[in-house]
Amino acid sequence: MLAAAYLYKGDLPAEYVDKKYSNDESRFLRFSGFDSRSQEPVDVTALSLPTLIMWGSEHALIPARVADQFAAALANTTLVVYADVGHVPMEEIPERSAADVVGFLEAINYR
């Protein structure tokens, strides 16, 4: 499953990926308390704040068309879909995704 999350294999050291995702404790901490069956549906159409959606075109679990659906449902959205990127653009292409966040915040005059 981890291989599917990371499409880009370039500069991510194997030790980093292994340490971050491969042990039971980190997996437990990441998902403890989450039970999708007990979650109430959320009406995202009620959100009006500026929203940046960053999505990898090669996300193995949730296709990019879902990002399009989010963008269509939210009133004030900027959608960036990264070609040839998987689940974690912030780690796979950190410079580009950080630049997109900065550009987004500048565009909405965030201070």
pLDDT band at residue 41 under the 50/70/90 scheme? confident
pLDDT at 21 > cutoff 60: no
pLDDT score for 95: 96
pLDDT score for 9: 54
pLDDT: which is higher, 16 or 64: 64
Q: What mean pLDDT is predicted for residues 75-99?
A: 93
Answer for the pair 67, 81: CB distance below 8 angstroms, yes or no: yes
Lowest mean pLDDT among 18-22, 42-46, 70-74, 77-81: 18-22
pLDDT: which is higher, 45 or 94: 94
Task: Give the C-alpha separation, 59 to 6, whole Å.
Answer: 8
Answer for the pair 56, 89: CB distance below 8 angstroms, yes or no: yes
pLDDT at 50 > cutoff 80: yes
Nearest to 55 by CA among 84, 82, 34: 82
Residue with tokens 């370039």: 10
For residue 53, what are the β-bridge partners? Answer: 79
Select the highest-mean-pLDDT range: 5-9, 43-47, 75-79, 97-101. Answer: 97-101
Note the CATH architecture for domain 2-107: 3-Layer(aba) Sandwich (3.40)
Task: Give the C-alpha separation, 104 to 98, whole Å.
Answer: 10
pLDDT at 22 > cutoff 70: no
